[in-house]
Structure formats: structure tokens, C-alpha cells
């Protein structure tokens, strides 16, 4: 069964645009779980332009499903995650000024750094995942860092899905097969949507979790959170 983790960054963006506490991030997280979400994901960035560090600290009071914190493991992020001790930390190589995640780790170049960082989190009992492109060499190197899982960066799949879905999925399927052979759990995220999620989930063996934010928020403007969550769960399972 593939779990659906909902990234609530865009809810925080909307709140911050007006000031105050509307929409209430904690209430949204609570409602999403009641609608069936099996995880809540946040991705705080250094400028805190959407999720604030204070949000990350407050959310465990309402999150009773898996809690996933994504981000670049700069010292402030490291301290935040160790303080909270979420279910999972996903390491993403974001530049500080990145609008959104745009590439996976070079797990060969940054092997020592990743190995050290991952060991710090795992010593605290936090499950670890590394954001990677569907590059077999990067996945082989990821396995050597001691990470529990990888998260496949799916933007390229989403871009090419409409034109040639088989060509779009092929490198991801190959990446998943190798990850399974190496004993790595498989997550996925970025630009997955109601349009492409069913095909992706069907073609990726042992897909454990998808983390989706932007599409869910956009689709919910028309359909509402409850209906959108139900549709994703139906497509995934």
C-alpha cells in the first residue's frame, strides 16, 4: 500500500500572504488527516517564506500520522529536526534561494556528508530519505550512505507524461527495481497529480509513499480537500 503524505507548504504561503492565522495551518493538518491523509509533509526553508520553524515545532501537537520534514541539512535545519524527532527526514539539496526543489543529490560527491548527517538522525531514531534523480549511479551511491529510503524526484516524469508515458516512466521503473535490490525503501514526489499518479504508482514496484503538495492545493480549489484526498487514495490503491 502506497501512503499519501500531503505537503502543506502552500497552505502556509497563503496564510503568510495576508498575515494573521487564516488559513489555520494546524487545523488544515488535522482536517487532512481526518479526510484520510496518511502523512503530513513540510519543507521549511531558511527564509521561512512559507513554513516557519515555529510551525514545524507546533505541528506534532496535532499530527497523529507520519510526520515528514524535508529540507537542506544546514545547521539550523539539523537542530530543528533533532529537536522535533519526526517520523522521517528527507534530505533535499536546495539552494537557499530556490523557488522549489529542482534536482536530486549527487550522492557520490556528497557521500561523506550524507553518511555523517544520516547517522546523526538515525541515532535519534528518525527514518531518513534522500531526494534523488532516477540515476542508477546516484542510487547505488545512496545505498552506501546508510539511508533508509530514497525519494525519486518526479518532475521529469510529470513533464513528459502526456507525450509518452512509457518513455517518461522507464527510468523511474529501472531506478525502483535497483533500489529494491539494494534494500532501499522508495518514496516519490514533485509534480505528481491526479492526472498521473495512478499510472506512476502502478508502474513503480514497492512504492511506499508519495509526498504531494502543489497539485493537491490547486486541485482542491475546485474540488475541496476531502474529495481530492479520496481521489488520490483511490488512485494509489
What are the catalytic residues? Answer: 43, 70, 190
Cα angle for residues 139, 151, 173 (degrees, 5° grid)? 65
DSSP reduced 3-state for 196: coil
Distance CA 65, CA 52 (A): 20
The sign of the torsion formed by the CA atoms of 223, 224, 225, 229 equals: negative
Distance CA 6, CA 106 (A): 26
Bridge-partner residues for 188, per DSSP?
152, 210
Bridge-partner residues for 131, per DSSP?
151
Distance CA 219, CA 199 (A): 18
Residues, the chain: 237
Cis? peptide before 23, omega within 30° of 0: yes
Amino acid at each position: 500500500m502506497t501512503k499519501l503524505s500531503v505537503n502543506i507548504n502552500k497552505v502556509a504561503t497563503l496564510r503568510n500572504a495576508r498575515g494573521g492565522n487564516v488559513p489555520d495551518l494546524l487545523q488544515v493538518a488535522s482536517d487532512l488527516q481526518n479526510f484520510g491523509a496518511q502523512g503530513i509533509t513540510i519543507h521549511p526553508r531558511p527564509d521561512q517564506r512559507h513554513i516557519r520553524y515555529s510551525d514545524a515545532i507546533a505541528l506534532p501537537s496535532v499530527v497523529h500520522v507520519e510526520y515528514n520534514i524535508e529540507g537542506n541539512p544546514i545547521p539550523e535545519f539539523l537542530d530543528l529536526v533533532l529537536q522535533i524527532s519526526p517520523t522521517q527526514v528527507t534530505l533535499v539539496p536546495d539552494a537557499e534561494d530556490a523557488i522549489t526543489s529542482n534536482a536530486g543529490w549527487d550522492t557520490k560527491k556528497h557521500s561523506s556528508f550524507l553518511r555523517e548527517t544520516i547517522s546523526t538522525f538515525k541515532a535519534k531514531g528518525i527514518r531518513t530519505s534522500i531526494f534523488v534523480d532516477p540515476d542508477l549511479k546516484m542510487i547505488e551511491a545512496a545505498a552506501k550512505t546508510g539511508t533508509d529510503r530514497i525519494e525519486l524526484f518526479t518532475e521529469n516524469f510529470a513533464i513528459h507524461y502526456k507525450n509518452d508515458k512509457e518513455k517518461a516512466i522507464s527510468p523511474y521503473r529501472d531506478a525502483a527495481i535497483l533500489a529494491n535490490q539494494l534494500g532501499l525503501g522508495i518514496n516519490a514526489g514533485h509534480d505528481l497529480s491526479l492526472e498521473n499518479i495512478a499510472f506512476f504508482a502502478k508502474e513503480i514496484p514497492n512504492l511506499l509513499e508519495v509526498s504531494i503538495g502543489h497539485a493537491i492545493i490547486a486541485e482542491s480549489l475546485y474540488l475541496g480537500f476531502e474529495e481530492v484526498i479520496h481521489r488520490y487514495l483511490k488512485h494509489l490503491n
